[in-house]
């Protein structure tokens, strides 16, 4: 096995894949202004970049941890991973639409699921266009909440929760009842799941809600990074999320600052 720890390995590979994605996009847009790119050509960039990052990550992980299973969005899945004691869960390019639009809110996700302990044991979210890498190795603390009195809820631009407005409205009432100081609650949209969680880690948001389903590779790395920083992450019911299932599907997710989490769960319970 590689002398690197699992956490170090996930971080170094995610960063390498992130730099590859940046280089591919820079070369693609060098002679093509983004506003002139139609969907067909932009999809070509997305597909090529997704595949290239997948191959790089597969090569690096297979060389360093040959006995481990790998579940990647771009790979061919099978049930052999269910009997593996260690499963890497990989999204080579999370936020493909944003990547193709030359935006900054895309990410590389790499996490490790320990089957025997039924928990994630390593993970990295690399945001190369923002020059930020979030990892379980990080030592900095979660920033203090914003001072403008606004609580910000991050949600998907294209697939927000069906009852998002009702949940946010009820959350506002619950916070008033609990004497939690705030002026208003805003909804903001960001691309990648990793980028959404990073908004909370940067102090630009407080809560992330999603209930229209996604896959384990979307969730695993942001989930363990969020927990590492002291955020609360779970299903909207409050139950913990587990991984390495067949199919590898996650129904819903809430990530929140700890002091808001019980109020968020109450609002979700009353409005979903």
Segment 177-234, tens digit of pLDDT: 999 888 899 999 888 999 999 999 999 999 999 999 999 999 999 999 999 999 999 9
CATH architecture of the domain covering 150-271: 3-Layer(aba) Sandwich (3.40)
pLDDT of 144 reads 86
Which band of pLDDT confidence, cut at 50, 70 and 90, is reported for residue 5? very high
pLDDT surpassing 70 at residue 2? no
pLDDT surpassing 90 at residue 248? yes
Q: Going by CATH, does the domain composed of 6-135 fall within 3.30.540.10?
A: yes
Secondary structure (H, E, C), the chain = CCCCCHHHHHHHHHHHHHHHHHHHHHHHHCCCCHHHCCHHHHHHHHHHHHHHHHHHHHHHHHHHCCCCEEEECCCCCCHHHHHCCEEEEEEEEECHHHHHCCCCCCEEEEEEEECCCCEEEEEEEEEHHHCEEEECCCCCCCCCCCCCCEEEEEECCCCCCCCHHHHHHHHHHHHHHCCCCCCEEEEEECCCHHHHHHHHHCCCCCEEEECCCEEHHHHHHHHHHHHHCCCEEECCCCCCCCCCCCCCEECCEEEECCCCHHHHHHHHHHHC
* pTM for the predicted model, two decimal places: 0.94
Mean pLDDT of 158-169: 92
pLDDT surpassing 80 at residue 33? no
Mean pLDDT, the chain, whole residue set: 93
Q: Where are the domains of the chain?
A: 6-135, 150-271
């Amino acid at each position: 096995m590689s002398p690197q720890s699992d956490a170090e390995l996930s971080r170094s590979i995610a960063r390498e894949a992130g730099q590859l994605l940046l280089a591919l996009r820079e070369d693609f847009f060098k002679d093509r202004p983004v506003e002139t790119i139609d969907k067909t050509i932009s999809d070509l960039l997305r597909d090529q970049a997704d595949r290239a990052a997948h191959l790089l990550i597969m090569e690096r992980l297979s060389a360093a941890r040959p006995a481990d299973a790998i579940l990647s969005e771009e790979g061919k899945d099978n049930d052999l991973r269910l009997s593996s004691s260690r499963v890497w869960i990989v999204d080579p390019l999370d936020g493909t639409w944003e990547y193709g639009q030359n935006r900054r809110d895309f990410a590389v996700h790499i996490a490790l699921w320990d089957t025997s302990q039924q928990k994630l044991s390593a993970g990295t979210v690399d945001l190369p266009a923002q020059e930020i890498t979030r990892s379980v190795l990080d030592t900095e603390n979660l920033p203090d909440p914003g001072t403008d009195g606004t609580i910000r809820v991050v949600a998907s631009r294209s697939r927000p929760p069906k009852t998002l407005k009702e949940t946010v409205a009820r959350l506002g009432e619950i916070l008033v009842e609990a004497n939690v100081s705030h002026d208003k609650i805003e909804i903001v949209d960001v691309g990648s799941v990793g980028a959404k969680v990073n908004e909370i880690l940067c102090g630009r948001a407080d809560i992330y809600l999603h209930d229209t389903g996604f896959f384990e590779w979307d969730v695993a790395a942001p989930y363990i990074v969020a927990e590492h920083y002291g955020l609360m992450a779970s299903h909207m019911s409050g139950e913990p999320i587990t991984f390495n299932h067949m199919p590898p599907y996650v129904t819903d997710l809430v990530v929140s600052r700890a002091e808001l989490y019980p109020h968020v769960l109450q609002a979700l319970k009353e409005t979903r």
